[in-house]
Amino acid sequence: MLRLESAYRIVIMSLVGLTVGAAASLASLAFIDALFWLNNALLVSAYSRIQYEAQPALLAAATILVPTVGGLIVGQIVSRWVAERRGLGPPDAILAVQTRESPPSFKSGVASTLAALVSLGCGASVGQYGPLVYLGTLIGGLAQRLNLMVRDLQSVAIACGVAAAISTAFNAPIAGLVFAHEVILRHYSLRAFAPVTVAAATGYVIANVILQRPPLFLVEFAGVEHGHEFVLFAVQGVLAAYLAAGFMGLIAFAGRMAQRLRLPAPVRPGLAGLVLGLVALQLPEVLGVGKETLRFATIEGAFTVDELAVLVAAKLAVTAMCVGFGFVGGVFSPALLIGVMAGALFGMVWPLILPLAHSGIVPYAICGMMAVTSPVIGAPLTTILIVFELTRNYDLTIAAMVAVVFSNLVAYRIFGRSLFDVQLAARGFDLSLGRDKAILGVRSVAENVSQDYIAMRADESLGALTARLNAVGRSEAVVIGADGVFQGHIRLQDVVDEPPETPLGAVARKDELVFRETTTLWEAMDRIRDFVGEAVPLVDARGRVMGVVPEGAVIQGYMEAVHDLRREENAAA
């Protein structure tokens, strides 16, 4: 019987991997195609702009108007159709998977994806991979509706969608697989691993074999020629960490600025679009995903040191503004672009200071790209694998590995694991101490409430209480007012010396531990450490007693949650 059950599970999980993978992959391709079409139609891409090079006034008008109007449209879409009133992205996927709660509604997801398409299509300085990850989440989330009677289906299906989206977008199936585990699932169980692998491979097959998409990023590179350069890669990693932390800090700062502006939220992206357009008149490189700039940064002599420094600063600023002011999109592609330019800059500058041999700017550009990106998305393994899969160059991968590791170490200290985790922490979901705390941090202790307790009114006498407690063989009672509001807590051993006619209100202790509706299992566990009674009263927002939570129930809730996690993490099939 057990065997049949696990066979069913294996078949269902594999089919989920296959269908979610195929759907997410096709949806991602459609998204990318629509994006390129918009970029060409709206004169955002260099390829489309060149045909109007003889009409600079028209180009200038498009440069300013397209992001501005696009921003206003994005503002409308988000405020009307996205219930959360913001763009959805990887943090929402992480939250849904980690807490096993439902992701935002399908309608919100579709609207957010549309808003991302408009944002990117109009050249906003945001990334395409965040929306693609959410697109994968959206499609994976549909599997839960099928009622397939399989445990952990939602988490695994979402991970499948995300893996397929990344695998398709980057033409990098291994990176897609690892990204889904490293960022979304945060554990490596075989049960999840198998279907996610199927999904990532499906995405790769569809993008690469059936539709024959060109690889996203090819680099020709002979190899790292000098041993001392690895020390420089490590140094570069440390510098990149500061840049990444600065980038993330700037995004948070821009978000706070936007809140402070006396401007309705739907208008904010329009303002950001206007500023972006004005900057782009001087620096067209800041527009959009910046594929061309990404390439130029790996070409010796394409930029001067000054140009790179200005572009890094400009891209940092406009990206923070676009994200903070409500354009919908990710931070992955801008981080890649900022990183590759900063890396090229590093590769050009250090030989001016240190008279040592070097192997050109390519390895520095690639290392910089990954060293800035990986702390932002909190995925060192994924970024290392992306380099490996995109360049198929072992030397370059090892170089990037060194830079990525140092950058993650440092950035973790100064900012946190990733922008996603920091954003989630701001929403009250803290993953910094691992999944246990995070999940216990969202489970409410109210789930474990018990109605088996003695409640007495404050004007009743101590004698009545003693009689009642003796009758049921208990030693504690909760004292409430006429309106049901909590007045205190009485333990028999504390009142043995009081006269029996004393009203309960006079001897009830109010300073004892009380749980509120919002108290999480994590807080409860922390607070019952010094608790000596049988059960903790639970009160609602207005102070009325809802019941009590026995000490044993808190521990049991904790054990169940942790056990659930361990079981999920070690599930085989």
Positions in the binding site for another protein (CB under 8 A): 45-47, 49-51, 53-54, 214-215, 218-220, 284, 291-292, 295-296, 298-303
List the one residue out of 26, 411, 437 whose CA is nearest residue 242. 411
Looking at beta carbons only, is 28 or 45 nearer to another protein? 45
State which residue, 274 or 302, has the beta carbon closest to another protein.
302
| CB 415, min distance to another protein, A | 33
Give the sheet arrangement for strand 515-516, strand by strand. Answer: 515-516, 535-539, 545-550
In the complex, least distance from residue 52 CB atom to another protein, rounded to whole angstroms: 9
Q: How far is the CB of 199 from another protein (least distance, A)?
A: 26
Residue 49 or 268 having the CB closest to another protein? 49
> What backbone torsions phi and psi does residue 349 show, to the nearest 5 degrees?
-85, -40
Nearer to another protein, 48 or 99 (CB): 48
Chain-centre distance for alpha carbon 107: 20
Separation between Cα atoms, residue 245 and residue 411, nearest integer Å: 6
Whole-angstrom distance, CA of residue 88 vs CA of residue 111 = 9
Comparison of 296 and 406: residue with beta carbon closer to another protein: 296
Distance CA 369, CA 441 (A): 35
Integer Cα distance of 12 and 6 in angstroms: 10
Closer CB to another protein, residue 395 or residue 534? 395
**Least distance in Å: CB of 65 to another protein?**
21
The minimum distance between CB 306 and another protein, in angstroms, equals 14
Kindly state the smallest distance separating residue 311's Cβ from another protein, in Å.
Answer: 11
Our CB check for another protein shows the closer of 214 and 355 to be 214
Q: Which is nearer to another protein, 283 or 349 (CB)?
A: 283
Between 50 and 190, CB nearer to another protein: 50
Query: CB 36 → another protein: shortest distance, Å?
Result: 10
Q: Residue 163 CB: number of other CB atoms within 10 A?
A: 40
Query: 3-class secondary structure for 293-317?
Result: HHHHCCCCCCCCHHHHHHHHHHHHH
Angle at 44 between CA 42 and CA 46, to 5 degrees: 125
Cα 522 to Cα 444: distance, rounded to the nearest angstrom = 9
DSSP track, 481-525: -TTSBEEEEEEGGGSTTS-TTSBHHHH-BSSS--EETT-BHHHHH
**What are the DSSP calls for 124-158, one per residue?**
-S-BSHHHHHHHHHHHHHHGGGG----TTHHHHHH
CB of 352 to another protein, least distance (A): 21
CA distances from 92 to 97, 101, 109, 179, 255 (A): 9, 10, 10, 15, 18
The smaller minimum CB distance to another protein, of residues 215 and 505, is found at 215
- The whole-angstrom separation of Cα 28 and Cα 536 is 51
Q: Which residue has the tokens 């990318």?
A: 32
Instruction: Please state, in angstroms and rounded to a whole number, the distance separating the CA atoms of residues 428 and 95.
Output: 11
- Nearest approach, Cβ of residue 291 and another protein (Å): 7
- Produce one character per residue of 375-393: b if its CB has 16 or more CB atoms within 10 Å, e if not: bbbbbbbbbbbbbbbbbeb
DSSP 88: -
- Nearer CB in complex with another protein: 361/381: 361
Shortest distance, position 220 Cβ to another protein, whole Å: 4
Nearer CB in complex with another protein: 225/526: 225
Q: Nearer to another protein by C-beta: 54 or 541?
A: 54
Q: How far is the CB of 392 from another protein (least distance, A)?
A: 13
Q: How far is the CB of 296 from another protein (least distance, A)?
A: 6
Least distance from another protein to the Cβ atom of residue 287, Å: 11
Alpha helices per DSSP H over 171-206 = 173-179, 190-204
Q: Which is nearer to another protein, 264 or 301 (CB)?
A: 301
What are the C-alpha distances in Å from 203 to residues 196, 210, 230, 395, 436?
A: 11, 10, 34, 27, 32
**511 HSE (CA, 13 A, CB side):** 1
Pairing of strands 476-480, 515-516: unpaired
What tokens appear for 181 in the block? Answer: 């585990």
Q: How far apart are the first and last CA of the chain?
A: 15
Are 322 and 120 in contact by the 8 Å Cβ rule? The answer is: no
For the bound state, the minimum distance from the C-beta of residue 264 to another protein, rounded and expressed in Å, comes to 37
